[in-house]
Structure 1
């Protein structure tokens, strides 16, 4: 895996909230937030780290399975609104990663939601947990956020911390 771009620890991308993803009130349906977050993270991995998970699964037989998702909603994302989605690696070990993803309005003045997603590396041939290849482990070491604003605590503590910061600012 060769990196062709400068390593950015908190990559971000923009997305438009689409009609088919909204509830009758014009808000992004709560279940669809996951799709927007996961799609953004896939884009971030490819664009910023040259990491193609589909290619990895085909060539190395390694895939990533969701172990747990935790999400908290702060403000609705509205129909046809442009949002910014940021992702960051906040924890990992030899076979798991924890990603924090945040959604904002287009100028990042309104916080929409936060997601913690835990993934496990799986050997797709055996169906069992596996360790990361050395090159991927090295990449994880380089992009992990050192000061993740208390993210080593529980998700509930992180949500409280974000809510408190939003009230101040």
Structure 2
């Protein structure tokens, strides 16, 4: 899928809580770090380069996360990300953390961001060129709301366990 990029990483022992699960805050670290890498791999620029060229960047205004399956230390996970909504001023990126075989889904994160002018210190519309560029990377998913999406992903996990 052109708009979805995946990277693999290993969960570190020091990122886990005393009972051996990935700490809730660390999910965000792993997932957002992967997204930053995906931006370079998929779109060919860094956030810093985009700021230098346009004076604008994306600022997260909402994160919605669902923890679907525990992650233990030294587990290898695949983290994928994709744009699922693209509006005049906002975008929503879905980031999924899956097991190494891409069977079970450990967590789902939706990050909503506004396009923000550093000079004007306010949100601004995406340029027509940017909208056209990202149109090729937008990935449609059947669910429109986060709760619907997490319910679908939970069902996927149940199907995986049955097989």
TM-score, structure 2 normalization: 0.91
Shift of 1:165: 2.7
Report the equivalent of 1:156. Answer: 147
Report the equivalent of 2:136. Answer: 142
| Gapped regions of structure 1 (runs ≥ 5) | 1-6
Q: Distance in 2 between matches of 1:58 and 1:21?
A: 33
Report the equivalent of 1:42. Answer: 36
Shift of 1:101: 0.8
Q: Distance in 2 between matches of 1:158 and 1:54?
A: 31
Shift of 1:35: 1.0
1:109 is aligned, of 91, 103, 113, to: 103
| Gapped regions of structure 2 (runs ≥ 5) | none
Report the equivalent of 2:55. Answer: 61
Shift of 1:103: 0.4
> Which deviates more from structure 2 when the two are superposed, residues 136-145 or residues 19-28?
19-28
1:14-62 Cα deviation digits (max 9, x unpaired): 1111233211122211011111111111111101210211111133211
Report the equivalent of 1:3. Answer: none
Work out the number of aligned pairs and report it: 160
Report the equivalent of 2:8. Answer: 14
Q: Distance in 2 between matches of 1:65 and 1:48?
A: 19
1:74-111 Cα deviation digits (max 9, x unpaired): 11121121110011111011111101111011111221
Q: Distance in 1 between matches of 2:52 and 2:14?
A: 31
> Which deviates more from structure 2 when the two are superposed, residues 35-44 or residues 129-138?
129-138
Q: Distance in 1 between matches of 2:58 and 2:70?
A: 29
Q: Secondary structure at the match of 1:45?
A: helix
TM-score, structure 1 normalization: 0.88
